[in-house]
Amino acid sequence: MSQNTIRIATFNVNSIKARLPRVTEWLEEAKPDVALLQELKCADESFPHFEIESAGYKAEIHGQKSYNGVAILSRHPIEDVRRGLPGADEMGDDADQARYIEATVKGIRLASIYLPNGNPAPGPKFDYKLRWMERLRAHVAETLLPSERPLALGGDYNVCPTDRDVHDPTGFAEDALCRPESRAAFRALLNLGLTEAWRALHPNAEGKYSYWDYGAGAWQKDNGLRIDHFLLSPQAADRLVECEIDRRPRGREKPSDHTPVVVELTVD
């Protein structure tokens, strides 16, 4: 007896308008049930709903002009949408940054996350990154995990979890993506009981990346970083079938600097 599965992708598109041909052709070929997008760089009212619906997807948006912006695209109904993490009021400086959207699809609680980059580090942007990560940790601990439901948090975490996830560990040692504080905050999420899906299925892999800089021939030389991840609650990790990096979109004309990561989970 075969089981039904759901395929969920995460993709930092680096402008949904500039990337629309890449995104629609990838949706047509990869056909994920859900696509979590980051860096839309557009306001809610200018999101290209017509083209996305024509590809077969409904979209819930948390947009922002010029910067940031996240979305949940789905071929199935999207329920109980939440925009933004709790705690913005205490932050003082980020009430507007559109970096988090959460919703339920087919009984799975999903989030699309665009974690702050944090460079240059040290500095105020790095402090902001660490505060944002603590807000995410608190929300997962206080609200999401206690529900004891399947939970998949996908997105651009802007963290290389270990040196195996960086083409040049020495050169990036002081970078906000690789610094010990960033990695400790990422491990604090895992220590709540979350599973990093790709690493769980590829425990010994090195040199597998989800981002390549536009410059210096980084893609051609495979000088990349693995910073796009899925974190799963125990109830979702028990359903984990597969997690793969889809390199195809990065090699095409006018690509995003990121490429999608796809996770497959069984559903009832």
Q: Where is the binding site for Mg(2+), in residues?
A: 12, 39, 156, 158, 257-258
Q: How far is it, in rounded angstroms, from Cα 158 to Cα 138?
A: 19
> Of the residues 57, 100, 114, 211, which is catalytic?
114
Q: How far is the CB of 119 from DNA (least distance, A)?
A: 4
**Cβ nearer to DNA, comparing 19 with 239:** 19
**Is 167 one of the annotated active-site residues of the chain?**
no
Q: How far is it, in rounded angstroms, from Cα 133 to Cα 146?
A: 19
> Of the residues 62, 167, 229, 258, which is catalytic?
258
**Cβ nearer to DNA, comparing 71 with 105:** 71
Terminal Cα distance for the chain, rounded: 13
Cβ-contact 26, 1 below 8 angstroms: no
Q: How far is the CB of 240 from DNA (least distance, A)?
A: 26
- What burial class does residue 216 get, using C-beta atoms within 10 Å of its C-beta: 0-12 exposed, 13-18 middle, 19+ buried? exposed
> Of the residues 57, 139, 156, 209, which is catalytic?
156
**Is 127 one of the annotated active-site residues of the chain?**
no
**Is 156 one of the annotated active-site residues of the chain?**
yes
Binding site for DNA (CB under 7 A): 12, 14-15, 17-19, 39, 41-42, 65-67, 116-117, 119-120, 125, 156, 158, 177, 211, 213-216, 225, 227, 254, 257-258
**Complete DSSP assignment for 97-147:** ---EEEEEETTEEEEEEE-----SSSSHHHHHHHHHHHHHHHHIIIIIGGG
Cβ-contact 8, 36 below 8 angstroms: yes
Q: How far is it, in rounded angstroms, from Cα 19 to Cα 39?
A: 11
The DSSP bridge pattern shows strands 70-74 and 211-212 to be unpaired
Q: Which residues are catalytic?
A: 114, 156, 258
